[in-house]
Structures are given as C-alpha cells and as structure tokens.
Amino acid sequence: MPELQHLPANADASTIVAAVEQDGAVILDNVISPEFIAALREETDPYMDNTSNGDDPFAGFKTTRTGGLLVRSEKCRELIEHATILNPCREFLAPFCEKVQLHLTQIIRIRPGETAQAIHRDKWAWGKHLSHLEPQFNTIWALTDFTAENGATQVVPGSTKWPDDQDIQPEQVTQAEMKAGSVLIYSGSVFHGGGANSSDGDRIGINITYALGWLRQEENQYLSCPPELAKDLSRTLQELAGYAMGQYALGYYTPPGAPGEEPEVVPPQYALGIRKDLSSMGGTGDLEALQRALQT
C-alpha cells in the first residue's frame, strides 16, 4: 500500500508544492495547537450540532457538513488565510490564474457507522471539463485524530494524471492518518474520498479549499458572506471571498441606482466601501482608470 509524505509544520512552500505535484497530496504535522482547536470548536460546535446528516450516499447518511465558516468563526478565518497554506496555494495555482479564491469552507463530521465515500476528484464540481489543468488546492484540517478506524480520508497517491474512468484497486488506496492539529493538503485532481468510521467516536475535520479566481465557487461566498459582513474582514479574506477582480477585466459590476448616482463601472471591492485600494486590478490606480480601460 502506498503512503503519503509527512512534512513538518514549517516546511517551505516549494517543498509542499513539490510533494503535491508528485503524489497529489501531503500531510503537514502539528500545524495548530490543542488550544486553537478548543477555541475553534467552541465557536463552531453549536452550528455543527444543529446540522443534519446527509441524505444521499455521497454526502453520507451519517455525515454532517457545516458551511459558512468565513462568517461564523474567527478561528476558521485564521485557517483560511494561514500563510503556511496560502503561500504554496498561490505557487501551485499560479500557472493557471492571476488570483486564487476561496472555494469551500465546511466542517465534515463522519459519525460512527458511516460507510466509505465513493472515490472521486474534487474538480468534478465543474463537470469533467478541466482535464488539462489543475483548478484547486485543498485542505482538510484535523480537529480530531484521523485514523484508519474512524474514517481518515482515503487518498490514491500519484493518481492526478489518471483518466477519469480509472479502475482503482484497493491496494492503490491509502488513508491520511494524522494527529489532531495536522492538515492534509491535496489537489483537485487526486482521487480520494471520506473513509468508513468503524470506531465509537466522530472524525471531525475542516475542509477549506481554494480555486482559480476565474471559476465559479462551490460555496457561493457572495451569499454566505454578503458585503455588509465582508466589509469587516481583512483585505486578504475579502479578496479570497471574491471581492476583487479575478483578472484585469473579470468581475466588475454596475451599481444599481438613479442615473449619475454611482460610477458606471466599478470593481467588486467598491461594494465594501473601498474606493482607492485597486492594486489588485491589473495596475489600475483608481475608478476612473478602470472605467477608461473597460471602455476600449
């Protein structure tokens, strides 16, 4: 059975990227402390405890999935913009985009008696139309120990280039066993799936994933985190949520209102009250410059 590489929490971005490119996944050990996990659980357990089990085999009849973490949890926000993740994320996706974005936030709790999830690729969220590029950089943060018995994520190392209809054999599958506080990093192309939980305790992890800035997000951040809430986030989180141009002329909008009341063309961060911070828009320095560029 193949095994995943384990790297220390202080591994540099290039080392992490090299491991993901080689195997499709890698584990960073002991990135967050027990105290951090306890604080995060205090913020999120009330939401998780009020989340129903899934209603189909893929979602899991004994699995809960709790989203909207960008708004619901300060500690989750720290994970979303954690430099240990964002730096390799940007390096890994750089060949395919100018900006990365937050794709999904979700606490996944696999309860005792759950069966194994079907092996799949996360990039199938967009259908099977992205076979020649890598659209995602994904994480699962372990809030409990991940063991073979409690449903540690199944991964097929080295499978990123395989055809979508590959017949995967049991001996090609390993499990991402890791201690609480560690994080599994994996690509959108690697075959993987939730494991079966034959233990008497929950397996709990936070799935935070990132995608190319020009793709539609799986979790609609504009609705989960509308402008009136996004305006209070850090600028990094605002940009990850999508309140920034995806590329030079990708993502602008026209504000509603009476004639002449607002500029005709503005970037997404305008909805947050940001008027001059347009450094992420291909070098344009103000609204007038953006408008002139888009008139050509």
| Homologous superfamily (CATH) for 6-212 | q2cbj1_9rhob like domain (2.60.120.620)
pLDDT at 287: 55
Domain boundaries, given as residue ranges, for the chain: 6-212, 245-296
pLDDT at 288: 57
pLDDT at 59: 95
Full-model pTM: 0.92
Half-sphere exposure of 274 (CA within 13 A, CB side): 24
pLDDT at 280: 43
Rounded Cα distance, 264 and 284, in Å: 16
- The candidate with the shortest Cα–Cα distance to 75, out of 104, 111, 35, 102, is 35
pLDDT at 213: 96
pLDDT lower than 70: segments of the chain: 276-296
pLDDT digits (tens, 9 = 90+) for 171-188: 999 999 999 999 999 999
pLDDT at 2: 85
